[in-house]
Amino acid sequence: MSLLRAREAAEYLNISLATLYRIEKDGGLMPFRTSGGHRRYSLAMLNEYLERSRQPSLSSGPLIQQAETAQENKRPHNPLRILVADDEPDTVGLIIRALREDSDVYEFASASTHYEIGVQVMTFKPNLIVLGMTGAETAGVELCKEIKSDPETGHIKVVGLVESGENGIVRELLRWGADDCVIKPLQIEELQRSVRYLASRKTGIGHVSRK
């Protein structure tokens, strides 16, 4: 899937370019940058923003602002950064919502192609990747192999998402260093337990439990 230019992204969101840049300035969107400094946006990124914007919000009166400030102060200084990689935007959204509900020590980024995963690994620097089989099952294995065999990224925890019946893919993922595999159709509680366990093994995170 190709990345969208700024004007195309604004049209996709049905907003002006000025509004798009304001959203970026406020931290609502973090576009990729080309070598020439141009902004590029993935559909997964834009769909995730649309999903967030549909969630009901409260008016920001003084009491609400105080509550938000208190919540901000309670956020961990060393969160677990999770990259959710899958070529199905609905699956990405489902995983992020489920993990966000399970713990407040996670930060998220998403990717839907091999290229986007590479960009996010370099810029977002995830501690853990939930790795769907983007494009093909073998592509997921190759990605896991690349991540785990590189000394700069080998420390990243990898949870592979594998279709039911693909036992050979599970073996290959584990062979190349995947820390766990979760079978599709996705069992949310199983994924939450896996990520929670791997999070507890990351230096600096400590005990991770449900909210």
Q: At 162, phi and psi to the nearest 5?
A: -125, 140
Domain that holds residue 13: 6-42
**Which pTM value belongs to this model?**
0.61
Residues 182, 97: one domain? yes
DSSP string for 139-177: HHHHHHHHHHHSTTTTTSEEEEEEETT-HHHHHHHHHTT
Residues 110, 24: one domain? no
pLDDT tens digits for range 77-120: 578 999 999 988 888 999 999 999 988 889 999 998 888 888 89
Tell me the sheet residues that pair with 180: 159
Tokens of 43: 């559909």
Residues 31, 110: one domain? no
pLDDT tens digits for range 28-61: 888 887 767 778 888 778 888 887 776 654 443 4
Residues 105, 192: one domain? yes
Total domains in the chain come to 2
Tokens of 57: 């919000």
The CATH number of whichever domain residue 120 belongs to comes to 3.40.50.2300
Residues 29, 108: one domain? no
Residue 205, in any domain of the structure: no
Residues 80, 182: one domain? yes
Tokens of 134: 């983007």
